[in-house]
Structure 1
Amino acid sequence: MPQKKAFALRLDPAVHAAVERVAADELRSANAQIEMLLREALKARGIAVKHTPAPRRGRPPSSD
């Protein structure tokens, strides 16, 4: 399962505040909101980005 890529991102404080407001309105974290905004911007430019499958949650199936 691929991990998310972590990197430092420096933002203007006003941009960060706006992202946090929109994220709160849409019940997302600021990180998830930034990723969604980046995906929308890439799509608008005609750049397709595949969605990585989400990790499976919960208990593993029993082996019985």
Structure 2
Amino acid sequence: MSAEKKAYPLRISAAVLEAMQRWADDELRSVNAQIEYVLRDALRKGGRLKPRPSDPVDDDEST
């Protein structure tokens, strides 16, 4: 599996960006890493992204 990253310009409202910044600060992540984390989690939960072998299994989803 390749860890290749691609740049993508994102237009986002100031309010959403500020909320993401606060959330990222709480999680000790950069805003970019937080956005990627949220997107990946939503894609995985929606069945649109296969989990990586290194991803932990979420026991809450098995119920």
- TM-score relative to the length of structure 2: 0.70
Partner of residue 11, structure 1: 12
Q: Measure how far apart 1:43 and its partner are.
A: 1.3
Number of residue pairs aligned between Structure 1 and Structure 2: 52
- Deviations 1:14-54 (Å, cap 9, x if unpaired)? 00000000000000000000000001110121112455xxx
Paired letter, 1:41: A
Superposed CA RMSD in Å reads: 1.9
Ranges of 4+ aligned residues in structure 1 off by more than 3 Å: none
Tell me which structure has the larger Cα radius of gyration: 1
Highest RCO, 1 vs 2 (Cα 8 Å, sep ≥ 6)? 1
- TM-score relative to the length of structure 1: 0.69
| Structure (1 or 2) with the greater helix fraction | 2
Q: Which runs of 5+ in 2 are unaligned?
A: 53-63
